[in-house]
Amino acid sequence: MSHPPSAQRPQLALLIRLGAAFVLSVMLVFVKLVTESGVTLTETLFWRQLPTIPVLLLWFGMRRELTRLRSERMGAHFRRAVLGLTGMFLNFGAVTLLPLAEATTLGFTTAIWAVILSALLLRERVGLWRWSAVLLGFAGVLVIAQPGQSHIPPLGAAVSLGAAFTIALISIQIRDLSRTEHPLTIVFWFSAFSLPILALAMPFVMTSHTPYQWMLLAGLGLFGLLGQFLLTAALRYGAVASVIVMDYSSLVWATLFGWWVFDRLPPAATWFGAPLIVGAGLVIAWREHRLAIERGQAITGS
């Protein structure tokens, strides 16, 4: 049974995405703490995904809505799972290799990658505004990374940019799936397809854990599940170009958590580069919003 598409509710979408930014910022704190405690990245991903299936089965079962897990688009769910697992690996790896604020800021290049992908893959005409924003955003990346003389490891910067690129692709996939699928259905099948892949590696990476490490893994799973649902729900009620603006609030949380939990504030290069990347993303979001309005007016003939 497919789920009928929902009407657009942009204000609700913005509010949900704002909550997602906070929840996922907390999740990344758990990621950094758990990997610093000695848990491997692969095992971290496994425990991040594992709670999703029983929690959602219980949720749908209590509501007598297990039929919502049916889907006629299993191929699309599988492709989303493969790409999603790759994106999670890169995203968690970036947080492990970089300070929170720098990893978060470089992750904002998702909007920039989305413009490039729309031009190369979708053959969309990209005008001066968006190409200028792309150049502005990558200027910000250079300011923060400072090739050859930065405090940021080149590998960490590359992994973070790779994560942003992958997330741009995932956003397009989720937007397409949300036309017919319930948000929790998308989340369920992501875990259902990705868990077996991670489970194959577990015998080679799993070790015994302390109560502290289990507490961190439990927090990671809880906030990860909630954040994933909120992200998916936001894309159901609003366009990618509109809701992505709320993601920039995560820089505030990343800076605060980096200072509060890890006793580290971003250096001057990050403070100078971050506004360039954020500004580029805002220009892209504004331009996408204007183009959506123009397309709507052209369809209605107004």
User: Averaged over 75-80, what is the pLDDT?
Assistant: 91
Alpha helices in 72-182 (DSSP H): 74-97, 100-107, 110-120, 128-145, 154-177
Q: How confident is the model at residue 4 (pLDDT cuts 50, 70, 90)?
A: very low
The confidence score (pLDDT) of residue 1 equals 43
Mean pLDDT of all residues belonging to the chain: 83
The reply to whether the predicted model has a pTM over 0.85 is no
Res. 78: pLDDT tops 90? yes
Q: How confident is the model at residue 2 (pLDDT cuts 50, 70, 90)?
A: very low
Res. 268: pLDDT tops 70? yes
- If we measure between CA atoms, which residue out of 5, 54, 19 comes closest to residue 230? 19
Res. 148: pLDDT tops 90? no
% residues pLDDT > 90 (the chain)? 30
Domain boundaries, the chain: 10-203+223-300
Alpha helices in 37-73 (DSSP H): 41-49, 52-62
Q: What's the per-residue H, E or C state across 248-295? A: HHHHHHHHHHHHHHHCCCCCHHHHHHHHHHHHHHHHHHHHHHHHHHHH
- Measured distance CA(223)–CA(241) in Å, rounded: 24
Q: How confident is the model at residue 11 (pLDDT cuts 50, 70, 90)?
A: confident
Res. 140: pLDDT tops 70? yes
- Measured distance CA(259)–CA(196) in Å, rounded: 37
The confidence score (pLDDT) of residue 131 equals 81
Q: Of all helices (H) and strands (E), which one includes residue 36?
A: helix 10-36
∠ Cα 206 57 82 (to 5°): 55
Residue 237 has a CB neighbour count (10 Å cut-off) of: 22
User: Averaged over 16-25, what is the pLDDT?
Assistant: 90
The 10s digit of each residue's pLDDT in 184-207 is: 888 889 999 999 999 999 999 888
Does 181 or 175 have the greater pLDDT score?
181
